Amino acid sequence: NPGSEIVASGNIVVFGALRGMVHAGADGNRDAIIAALKLAPTQLRIGDIITRCPDTSEEIEFLPEIALVKDGIIYVEPL
């Protein structure tokens, strides 16, 4: 939830809604991924790259997504 933080040196997989700040590859690993049934973090980091997801309505149903780095940019795609 907002205000929470998840930090890992590797991948992060959440079987539910992911909100708050999330940082995969905290040791600089840009090959790490973040996956969740509902990806809605306030801030998303992979390695040294930082982004935030667009604001969405809480009423949107769960849509599994994955965040990964391609060519130095974080992409969020359906899983």
| Spatial distance between the Cα atoms of 34 and 44, rounded to a whole number of angstroms | 9
Q: Residue 61's closest CA among 40, 33, 76?
A: 40
Q: How far is CA 58 from the centre of its chain?
A: 17
Q: Residue 63's closest CA among 3, 5, 17?
A: 17
| Spatial distance between the Cα atoms of 54 and 59, rounded to a whole number of angstroms | 15
pLDDT, tens digit (0-9, with 9 covering 90-100), for 32-69: 999 999 999 999 999 999 998 776 666 667 789 999 99
* Mean pLDDT, the chain, integer: 92
Which position has the token pair 């997504």?
Answer: 65
What integer is the mean pLDDT of 16-36?
96
* pTM (2 d.p.): 0.90
